[in-house]
Chain A
Amino acid sequence: MVRGLLKQLTFRSLSVAGKWQQQQLRRLNIHEYQGAELMSKYGVNVPKGVAAGSVDEVKKAIQDVFPKESELVVKSQVLAGGRGLGTFKNGLKGGVHIVPTNQAEDIAGKMLGQILVTKQTGPQGKIVSKVYLCQKLSLVNEMYFSIILDRKSAGPLIIACAKGGTSIEDLAEKFPDQIIKVPIDVFTGITDEDAAKVVDGLAPKGADRNSSIDQVKKLYKLFSETDCTLLEINPLAETADNQLVAADAKLNFDDNAAYRQKEIFALRDPSQEDPREVAAAKADLNYIGLDGEIGCMVNGAGLAMATMDIIKLHGGTPANFLDVGGNASENQVVEAFKILTSDEKVKAILVNIFGGIMKCDVIASGIVNAAKQVKLEVPVVVRLEGTNVDQGKTILKESGMALITAEDLDDAADKAVKALTK
């Protein structure tokens, strides 16, 4: 039970705080080309583009879709930002190139199947399985548009700015008086007045007002019908022919809605995810891979966080966030041990369990059985607290396993950090 309750908690806080993870997790992230297809399905204007998974497909796309274009944008599709400034492991610089159409095949060939490293992928990089070919637009005006779920108004909030192209933080700093916020009633949805207010805030230079209002309403429809948590169009651009175009978009979806957004969640690309996390998700464990050396296994997201704090306080670095939940089965504990021990960076494991709903003796036998099944080559420190703690500790001591028991959380962190140097 508690496991279920806590599952999302830390992911959420992590995602929002956003500082300590290498990539966004659990929140579904889709590729640029998938986002463009989705938007165009909802009638939102997007630049003309085609995704291609092989050089042959690139060739065909150029013939079929871009026979007259002289220049094309070739974008490698990875689920990480900073693509333009990234470097491929094969030496190619830049994950996004604007090239004459006759060179598009060549550059796409150098991207496909290669590993792109950006400041967001971490040193291991991410594989490029598809490139996205787009027409090169000449933009005459760039604006900002986003929809979020807002705490204060208890509903969706549209944020718009007549300036765009740089981050909302920059915009907020440079043009605070040009940013408008339009709360949308969660029960009635967007009205014509709401949409008109947004368009007036965007103040497009040449685009037709009514068709702009229509575009805003279509974006909101997309947001609400697909259970988005964030829809950010930056820039929302005007082309030379006075068209409003979503030139670049960021779409985040509510994982909680996966059950009713089957089509959207089918777009998930596991090749872009940390394999440790894919394994953890399979075992229904709450896991986030980090870069440290002390593997953590904790029940309850809150306790997991406290555990990581304490490790750091003692001079160690956590290798992961792992919440096995309040009602973990022995099998889940075994899977958790497998994930921790398969991580080369892990030099010690700290198990911190509070037996509130489960009893410590049950947990202890689970740990012992799990440890027997998995070959443990690093020291394991166990701290147990809660119901039947003494029986639990006795089971650990009498197991004959090389488990280090700790008195409290402080002691456990201390022992785990010391175990690193041994």
Chain B
Amino acid sequence: MATGQLFSRTTQALFYNYKQLPIQRMLDFDFLCGRETPSVAGIINPGSEGFQKLFFGQEEIAIPVHSSIEASCATHPTADVFINFASYRSAAASSMAALKQPTIRVVAIIAEGVPESDTKQLIAYARANNKVVIGPATVGGIQAGAFKIGDTAGTIDNIIHCKLYRPGSVGFVSKSGGMSNELYNTVARVTDGLFEGIAIGGDVFPGSTLSDHVLRFNNIPQVKLIVVLGELGGRDEYSLVEALKQGKVTKPVVAWVSGTCARLFKSEVQFGHAGAKSGGEMESAQAKNQALRDAGAVVPTSYEALEIAIKETFEKLVEEGKIAPVKEFKPPQIPEDLNSAIKSGKVRAPTHIISTISDDRGEEPCYAGVPMSSIVEQGYGVGDVISLLWFKRSLPSYCTKFIEICIMLCADHGPCVSGAHNSIVTARAGKDLVSCLVAGLLTIGPRFGGAVDDAARYFKDAYDRNLTPYEFVESMKKKGIRVPGIGHRIKRGDNRDKRVELLQAFARTHFPSVKYMEYAVQVETYTLSKANNLVLNVDGAIGTLFLDLLAGSGMFTKPEIDEIVEIGYLNGLFVLARSIGLIGHTFDQKRLKQPLYRHPWEDVLYTK
């Protein structure tokens, strides 16, 4: 290992196994440091490709996602750090694959619990090929103001608090990621800040060791002071002792080895490690602290005194003029995420959609304020649901019953009408249900199914303007418009439409007033005098009776009635009803496995 800086302000990483939060934290750190490029060049997510949207400052960026390590390295040849967020089961294999890529120089393994024999292979390969492994079982590391691995140094608040957005003069290495956070705070308090911090991870065999990084720090000119936090157990600190004794470390080292209380416990330990017993004393915190002290490191008497030791050592360097003053700058504000800002009441944002008929946010959905359980428990019907969702009120039961009768009457009118025909043809072309349904629905308009709406409009207009049937029919005739709701292909004055009779009977029994319908009957009387087939048809009956429903129920104001007629509620009723039939025809054709429909030549007049 040794050699110098691992990272710079242009270092880019490939991130294995997409994790939104750590990547966003890296990008936020980049923005804080004023980096021009995001530190994550690409994401590797086995089995998926495309992009992940993340924030770089205020802007959204799309980071490419690759399905293999090889592909990502080929696409991003300048990305030389591999951050591995794979699980402990697959971390070793993916790390080895990354180490084998010529473009990858540093592999950081976050997973904790990688089998030791697997880690051994990674270490052996990295050593032979001059690459650096950080971890396993680590949070990673950070170069202040330049590059950060994953979750290192925690939240943005903490990073700002510890001034990690700009480089200082301290190189820090420890096993533990949690203690790194503590020490970053300490370093920020008593020195000009961190230059680089590495957590080597808690495994017995870390990919790189405390002494590896100390020797590297020694080669980095900006690092003036090295802080090491060791732990009882293992012999790594002795490599550092050796390096110190041999004069390989020329910069002041402040060190502390945790675990001094270990000696407190006298009970013998069952441990058959071939070297453990003899090594036991050597590997104690006390012994290591003493050895480091003897080798020339500054070693305090307790962990709490570590802060003072760092402070004094740093101040001495300042007195000696070895520390250049750090250029301070105010880091830019990281825009807060909208969700958390709204949650904390810091911002308000206009909504883009308004809805007044239903609400799905509570325990159960509500239709116009009526919870689903009431709708079911109180035996509401489809008519009631329509009245809630369309009219935003509960209408009297005769009204909802009338709506249901209309839907039943209009649900279908045989296979030959244009809507059903279109649905049938579409179904036979092998299309899906929705295509068949809309193919049929698309025919509904001025010539097909539009009569209900129009009948209501014209009859309402005529009645409200007190036109006599004669004036109404003749004025329409002058305009060249057929009176909608009047006339039938088959039915005659002496052979009324059964559906019309049913509706009229129901309305006369239940409606408080049927004035619009009676007006229509008067109109029909007049038109029948002109031709026997000009009867009031089902469209006219529904249209006018609906006007009676709106006006007679006392549930609607006049402007409301005008609006209902104006924006096409009656057409809605027809569309809803006929959808039932169109779906039926579609299923019918599919069930019958009917082949593609082709209109016969004989049925077409070919002419010039």
What is the interface of chain A mostly: helix, strand, loop, or mixed? mixed
Asked if A120 contacts B269 (CB within 8 A), the reply is yes
Q: How far is the CB of A83 from chain B (nearest CB, A)?
A: 10
Asked whether any CB of chain A lies closer than 8 Å to the CB of B337, the reply is: no
Q: How far is the CB of B507 from chain A (nearest CB, A)?
A: 63
> Given the known A-B contacts A227-B115, A256-B115, A305-B259, are A357 and B272 also in contact in the complex, defined by CB atoms under 8 Å?
no
- Closest residue of chain B to A12 (Cβ to Cβ) is B204
> Given the known A-B contacts A16-B233, A256-B88, A309-B261, are A303 and B274 also in contact in the complex, defined by CB atoms under 8 Å?
no
Q: How far is the CB of B277 from chain A (nearest CB, A)?
A: 5
CA distance A162 to B289 in the complex (A): 37
Asked whether any CB of chain A lies closer than 8 Å to the CB of B157, the reply is: yes
Q: Which of A12, A119, A169, A291 is the one whose CB lies under 8 Å from B203?
A: A12
Name the residue among A122, A229, A255, A302 with the largest chain B CB count within 10 angstroms.
A302
Q: Which of B111, B137, B158, B273 is the one whose CB lies under 8 Å from A18?
A: B273
Chain A residues with Cβ below 8 Å from B510 are none
CA distance A10 to B303 in the complex (A): 17
Asked if A356 contacts B154 (CB within 8 A), the reply is yes
> Given the known A-B contacts A12-B233, A151-B235, A387-B157, are A7 and B273 also in contact in the complex, defined by CB atoms under 8 Å?
no
Q: Which of A151, A187, A259, A308 is the one whose CB lies under 8 Å from B205?
A: A151
Asked if A256 contacts B261 (CB within 8 A), the reply is no
> Given the known A-B contacts A18-B276, A255-B113, are A302 and B178 also in contact in the complex, defined by CB atoms under 8 Å?
yes
Asked whether any CB of chain B lies closer than 8 Å to the CB of A260, the reply is: yes
Asked if A5 contacts B110 (CB within 8 A), the reply is yes
Q: Which of A224, A252, A256 is the one whose CB lies under 8 Å from B113?
A: A256
CA distance A13 to B116 in the complex (A): 14
CA distance A82 to B272 in the complex (A): 12
A152-194 at interface with B (beta carbon < 8 Å): 154-156, 159, 167-169, 172, 186-187
Asked if A146 contacts B274 (CB within 8 A), the reply is yes
Asked if B120 contacts A155 (CB within 8 A), the reply is yes
> Given the known A-B contacts A14-B233, A257-B115, are A356 and B155 also in contact in the complex, defined by CB atoms under 8 Å?
yes
Q: Which of B177, B275, B285 is the one whose CB lies under 8 Å from A168?
A: B275
Asked if A326 contacts B178 (CB within 8 A), the reply is yes
Asked whether any CB of chain A lies closer than 8 Å to the CB of B59, the reply is: no
Asked if B261 contacts A354 (CB within 8 A), the reply is no
Asked whether any CB of chain A lies closer than 8 Å to the CB of B143, the reply is: no
> Given the known A-B contacts A120-B268, A257-B115, are A303 and B176 also in contact in the complex, defined by CB atoms under 8 Å?
yes
Chain A residues with Cβ below 8 Å from B264 are 20, 292, 312, 317-318
> Given the known A-B contacts A5-B139, A81-B270, A409-B304, are A308 and B261 also in contact in the complex, defined by CB atoms under 8 Å?
yes
Asked whether any CB of chain B lies closer than 8 Å to the CB of A114, the reply is: no
Q: Scoring A residues 216 to 232 as 1 if CB is less than 8 Å from chain B, else 0, what string do you get?
A: 00000000100101101
Asked whether any CB of chain A lies closer than 8 Å to the CB of B601, the reply is: no
Asked whether any CB of chain A lies closer than 8 Å to the CB of B329, the reply is: no
Q: How far is the CB of A249 from chain B (nearest CB, A)?
A: 9
Q: Scoring B residues 213 to 240 as 1 if CB is less than 8 Å from chain A, else 0, what string do you get?
A: 0000000000000000101111100000
Asked whether any CB of chain B lies closer than 8 Å to the CB of A290, the reply is: yes
Chain-B contact segment, one of A21-29, A52-60, A201-209, A334-342: A21-29
B122-153 at interface with A (beta carbon < 8 Å): 123-124, 127, 137-139, 150-151, 153
Q: Scoring B residues 230 to 255 as 1 if CB is less than 8 Å from chain A, else 0, what string do you get?
A: 01111100000000000000000000
Chain A residues with Cβ below 8 Å from B177 are 2, 5-6, 300, 302, 326
Chain B residues with Cβ below 8 Å from A401 are none
CA distance A232 to B175 in the complex (A): 29
Asked whether any CB of chain A lies closer than 8 Å to the CB of B112, the reply is: yes
Chain-A contact segment, one of B179-187, B390-398, B474-482, B583-591: B179-187
Asked whether any CB of chain B lies closer than 8 Å to the CB of A148, the reply is: yes
Asked if B232 contacts A17 (CB within 8 A), the reply is yes
Asked whether any CB of chain B lies closer than 8 Å to the CB of A149, the reply is: yes
CA distance A388 to B161 in the complex (A): 11
- Closest residue of chain A to B182 (Cβ to Cβ) is A354
Q: Which of A19, A299, A300, A326 is the one whose CB lies under 8 Å from B263?
A: A19
Chain B residues with Cβ below 8 Å from A309 are 258-261, 285, 302-303
Asked if A148 contacts B273 (CB within 8 A), the reply is yes
Asked if A230 contacts B233 (CB within 8 A), the reply is no
Asked if A230 contacts B158 (CB within 8 A), the reply is no
- Across the A-B interface, how many residue pairs have beta carbons closer than 8 Å? 277
Asked whether any CB of chain A lies closer than 8 Å to the CB of B42, the reply is: no
What is the interface of chain B mostly: helix, strand, loop, or mixed? loop
Asked whether any CB of chain A lies closer than 8 Å to the CB of B607, the reply is: no
Q: Which of A4, A23, A155, A356 is the one whose CB lies under 8 Å from B269?
A: A23
Asked whether any CB of chain A lies closer than 8 Å to the CB of B89, the reply is: yes
> Given the known A-B contacts A1-B151, A5-B110, A186-B121, are A13 and B179 also in contact in the complex, defined by CB atoms under 8 Å?
no
Asked whether any CB of chain B lies closer than 8 Å to the CB of A37, the reply is: no
Asked whether any CB of chain B lies closer than 8 Å to the CB of A306, the reply is: yes
Asked if A305 contacts B231 (CB within 8 A), the reply is yes
Q: How far is the CB of A196 from chain B (nearest CB, A)?
A: 21
CA distance A317 to B120 in the complex (A): 37
> Given the known A-B contacts A19-B269, A306-B179, A388-B157, are A260 and B115 also in contact in the complex, defined by CB atoms under 8 Å?
yes
Asked if A13 contacts B154 (CB within 8 A), the reply is no
Q: Scoring B residues 189 to 212 as 1 if CB is less than 8 Å from chain A, else 0, what string do you get?
A: 000000000010111110000000
Q: How far is the CB of A17 from chain B (nearest CB, A)?
A: 4
Asked if A385 contacts B176 (CB within 8 A), the reply is no
Q: How far is the CB of B287 from chain A (nearest CB, A)?
A: 10
CA distance A408 to B274 in the complex (A): 41
> Given the known A-B contacts A256-B116, A306-B258, A312-B261, are A9 and B269 also in contact in the complex, defined by CB atoms under 8 Å?
no
CA distance A106 to B421 in the complex (A): 96
CA distance A79 to B259 in the complex (A): 26
Asked if B302 contacts A356 (CB within 8 A), the reply is no
CA distance A306 to B267 in the complex (A): 21
Asked if A20 contacts B178 (CB within 8 A), the reply is no
Asked if B124 contacts A5 (CB within 8 A), the reply is no
Name the residue among B181, B203, B276 with the largest chain A CB count within 10 angstroms.
B181
Name the residue among A22, A256, A387 with the largest chain B CB count within 10 angstroms.
A256
Asked if A13 contacts B181 (CB within 8 A), the reply is no
CA distance A355 to B233 in the complex (A): 27
Chain B residues with Cβ below 8 Å from A250 are 272
Asked whether any CB of chain B lies closer than 8 Å to the CB of A47, the reply is: no
Q: Which of A122, A302, A385, A388 is the one whose CB lies under 8 Å from B229?
A: A302
Chain B residues with Cβ below 8 Å from A410 are 304
Chain A residues with Cβ below 8 Å from B22 are 1
Name the residue among A6, A29, A303 with the largest chain B CB count within 10 angstroms.
A6
Asked if A122 contacts B115 (CB within 8 A), the reply is no
Asked if A19 contacts B262 (CB within 8 A), the reply is yes
Asked whether any CB of chain A lies closer than 8 Å to the CB of B271, the reply is: yes
Chain A residues with Cβ below 8 Å from B280 are 17-19
Asked whether any CB of chain A lies closer than 8 Å to the CB of B117, the reply is: yes
- Closest residue of chain B to A308 (Cβ to Cβ) is B261
Asked if A9 contacts B231 (CB within 8 A), the reply is yes
> Given the known A-B contacts A17-B283, A18-B269, A24-B269, are A254 and B302 also in contact in the complex, defined by CB atoms under 8 Å?
no
Q: Scoring A residues 248 to 274 as 1 if CB is less than 8 Å from chain B, else 0, what string do you get?
A: 001010111101100000000000000
> Given the known A-B contacts A17-B259, A17-B284, are A10 and B139 also in contact in the complex, defined by CB atoms under 8 Å?
no
Q: How far is the CB of A61 from chain B (nearest CB, A)?
A: 27
Asked if A80 contacts B155 (CB within 8 A), the reply is no
Q: How far is the CB of A315 from chain B (nearest CB, A)?
A: 11
CA distance A14 to B204 in the complex (A): 11
Asked whether any CB of chain B lies closer than 8 Å to the CB of A301, the reply is: yes
CA distance A302 to B304 in the complex (A): 14
Q: How far is the CB of A194 from chain B (nearest CB, A)?
A: 16
- Closest residue of chain B to A152 (Cβ to Cβ) is B235
CA distance A186 to B120 in the complex (A): 7
Asked if A259 contacts B284 (CB within 8 A), the reply is no
Asked whether any CB of chain A lies closer than 8 Å to the CB of B104, the reply is: no
Asked if B178 contacts A300 (CB within 8 A), the reply is yes
Q: How far is the CB of B20 from chain A (nearest CB, A)?
A: 13
Asked whether any CB of chain A lies closer than 8 Å to the CB of B174, the reply is: yes
Query: Besides A18-B269, A168-B278, A300-B177, 4 other CB < 8 A contacts?
Result: A119-B268, A229-B116, A260-B115, A309-B285
Q: Could you show 5 A-B contacts with beta carbons less than 8 Å apart? A: A16-B279, A149-B116, A169-B277, A310-B303, A326-B177
